[in-house]
Amino acid sequence: MDNALVQPDPGLFFWTIAVFLVLLFLLKRFAWGPLLAALDERQAGIRKSLDDADQARKELEQVREEAEAIIGKARAEADGIISDARADGGQLRDDLRQQAQQQAQAIVENAERQIQQERDRALQQIRQEAVDMSLMIASKLIRRNLTAEDNG
């Protein structure tokens, strides 16, 4: 072929293959190999740090949930304690009131009984005294009668 555009040139052909293969070997040895290894390493590093961050975030979430659970439980317990205390207080108040009422009643009853007893005793004393007095009067009367007859 005499067209210069499509002139076969085996020398150039082999030169190209030789130059390219040498370039490929050198670049692979000195540039692509180390670079690709470094890129892979960096990629692995980034993936690891992202995984670590995810892990940390998950752990944080878990801890927060746990904390919230603990706070919730504490709150419930406090509520329980307060309501228990309130119930206990009410119970105690009722008990005390009842006790006080009972005591008051007992005191009143006691007082009434004492009053009754005192009255009974007083009445009895009065009665006794009345008996004594009438006896005394009677005996006085009898004694006078006896003396008058003697001297008469």
Partner 1 sequence: MLQPDHAEPGAHGADHAEGGFDAGQVIIDHVTNSSPDHPILHLPAIFGIDFSISKHVFMLLFVATVVFLLITTTVRRYLRQDRLVPGGFMNALEFVVEFIRDSIVLPNVGAKYVRSWAPLVLTFFCFILAANVVGLIPIFEVLGLIDHYVLHTGEHSLVKNVIHGGTTATANFNVTAALATITFFAIIIAGSLAHGFIQHWINLVPHGLAWPVYILLIPIEVMGMFVKPFALTMRLAANMTGGHIAILAILSFVFLFAREFGSALAGIGVGLFVSIPLAVGINGLEIIVVLVQAYVFTLLSAVFIGMAINVHH
Where along the sequence are the contacts to partner 1 (CB under 8 A)?
A: 4-17, 19-24, 26-28, 30-36, 38-39, 42
Q: Report the C-alpha dihedral over residues 20, 25, 29, 35, rounded to 10 degrees.
A: 40
Nearest distance from residue 27's CB to partner 1, in Å? 5
Nearest residue (CB) to partner 1, 25 versus 122? 25
Nearest distance from residue 49's CB to partner 1, in Å? 13
Q: Is 31 within 8 Å of 37 (Cβ atoms)?
A: no
Nearest residue (CB) to partner 1, 26 versus 92? 26
Q: Report the C-alpha dihedral over residues 127, 132, 134, 139, rounded to 10 degrees.
A: 170
How far apart CA 73 and CA 66 sit, in angstroms, is 10
Nearest residue (CB) to partner 1, 8 versus 152? 8
Nearest distance from residue 38's CB to partner 1, in Å? 6
Nearest distance from residue 56's CB to partner 1, in Å? 22
Nearest residue (CB) to partner 1, 16 versus 116? 16
